[in-house]
Structure 1
């Protein structure tokens, strides 16, 4: 394995004193079984939010739940197929029973490496459903809950990417969904009257299973070694030659949820080591 997901280090968690960060308020996190989603769930729980983790991988999801609880936080895992509307609706209903839904982090995602002309449509449809339609539906369902909170404030985070700013070869479906998530955040914010707001987080490569699993396909498609994929493709344009940790990405979402980010309305937190804006 060329990339290994690091163990969660509780000391790396950004802790924020926010009046809405308490166990009466619910934070829903998708993709909570591994990677950034796991880190976001743990960080939210450590910040005193009642955290609801959604993932199709029950074994890893329950592992995240245990880590969050062992850290002193409160988390409930609900096995959820994000490509199934009934599963999503049930998960939101159950979350609503555990407190006031105020935060949603749409993190779940997959990757498939292929050119437009060779891209399998069944994989394209799956990625659209998981990475764009599910965040839209979850947002649609949680906004009414948020509006019923005493201060009518709610925040929705969407995990985008540098691929929501630039397009690299052989990632058409991924590129499209990440641009789409930025549009979703801006659309929610346009309708939210400054109370319901949304934002995106755009990072470069993060040390997660999603990044690790694409190395072999990238090497085959580009005709280079796996080592060259990491050095020249993944980190080639970054001024910082080290991948972010999942918790570093999660901390950006926690900051975006907090009162410190009340002017982050439809905006994007671009933390990419300079990939997009420096040449």
Structure 2
């Protein structure tokens, strides 16, 4: 028997595409009512329509996670109709560049979404979880949280912050039965990766895809579904003794590339 989220309600930021979409679909398939918070209305609508077509339950709301007022308002609307059990902080953006090639505008943009966005959602949901007698938070970090990745200065900064926020919240609220963990993927094959390759290496898409895949010791990128399966376990009752922990899912990147 697989892991179940029956009768659970989950809020998933950036749940309309890539890893977030895979988590949304996985959670709905395993019994959860899924609320997607997305700035991209098309992606959110298509994902929810797909979930409903397969007999799942869910809804979506347009939300800029970097805007605390928006986050607070959307969370209040959801909480008015559902008891929320799970928060997946998945929304995030990337940036390529070392410190010399990271403008102040770039830095602020990454910080506002990847760091402040996670803070805004936890700030809104932790009091809800306390009132409900507990809850589960998964923050999407990255292998860049703990190892050096070339030309990812601002991105690494933001994911390092996500990792330490995870530890802090886990310690502060363990007595309130709030579990907080993070997942740190290596490169995962998502539409973002395909778009990045197409825009930066036109005409060499296949070659660059293979090159990026081979940077992983397993010789391939991860699949969004693999990340979603780990998230499912960590949010299930079977993981009730796990908190304050980061889970690399990286095809051996951290341990085998040294």
Please say whether Structure 1 and Structure 2 have the same fold, judged by a TM-score greater than 0.5. Answer: yes
Q: Give 2:114's match in structure 1, choosing from 113, 118, 131.
A: 131
SS of corresponding position for 1:215:
helix
CA drift at 1:42? 1.3
Q: Do the aligned partners of 1:114 and 1:171 also contact (CA within 8 Å) in 2?
A: yes
Q: Give 2:125's match in structure 1, choosing from 129, 133, 142.
A: 142
| Residue equivalent to 1:242 | 220
Once residues 145 and 197 of structure 1 are traced to their aligned partners in structure 2, the CA distance between those partners, rounded to angstroms, is 13
1:102-121 alignment, distance < 5 Å: 102-121=85-104
SS of corresponding position for 2:253:
coil
SS of corresponding position for 2:84:
strand
Q: For 1:148-206, what per-residue CA distance to the aligned partner results, in whole angstroms no more than 9, with x for missing partners?
A: 22xx1211001111111212111111111111111111111001125111111111111
CA drift at 1:83? 2.1
TM-score (norm: length of structure 1): 0.85
| Residue equivalent to 1:82 | 65
Q: For 1:113-161, what per-residue CA distance to the aligned partner results, in whole angstroms no more than 9, with x for missing partners?
A: 1221121221211111111111111111101111122xx1211001111
Q: Do the aligned partners of 2:190 and 2:224 also contact (CA within 8 Å) in 1?
A: yes
Structure 2: tracts of 5 or more residues without a match: none
Once residues 9 and 101 of structure 2 are traced to their aligned partners in structure 1, the CA distance between those partners, rounded to angstroms, is 42
SS of corresponding position for 1:33:
coil
Alignment length (residue pairs): 255
Q: Do the aligned partners of 2:65 and 2:120 also contact (CA within 8 Å) in 1?
A: no
Using a 3 Å threshold, how does the CA distance of structure 1 residues 258 and 207 change in structure 2: closer, same or farther? same
Q: Do the aligned partners of 2:141 and 2:162 also contact (CA within 8 Å) in 1?
A: yes
Q: For 1:180-236, what per-residue CA distance to the aligned partner results, in whole angstroms no more than 9, with x for missing partners?
A: 11111111100112511111111111111222233367769xxxx65554344x334
Q: Do the aligned partners of 2:15 and 2:21 also contact (CA within 8 Å) in 1?
A: yes
| Residue equivalent to 1:163 | 144
Q: Do the aligned partners of 2:35 and 2:59 also contact (CA within 8 Å) in 1?
A: yes
Structure 1: tracts of 5 or more residues without a match: 1-13
Once residues 88 and 202 of structure 1 are traced to their aligned partners in structure 2, the CA distance between those partners, rounded to angstroms, is 24
Q: Give 1:208's match in structure 2, choosing from 165, 186, 190.
A: 190
1:1-279 alignment, distance < 5 Å: 15-17=2-4, 21-23=5-7, 25-149=8-132, 152-194=133-175, 195-215=177-197, 229-232=208-211, 234-279=212-257
Q: Do the aligned partners of 1:237 and 1:274 also contact (CA within 8 Å) in 2?
A: no
Q: Do the aligned partners of 1:218 and 1:229 also contact (CA within 8 Å) in 2?
A: no
Using a 3 Å threshold, how does the CA distance of structure 1 residues 213 and 39 change in structure 2: closer, same or farther? same
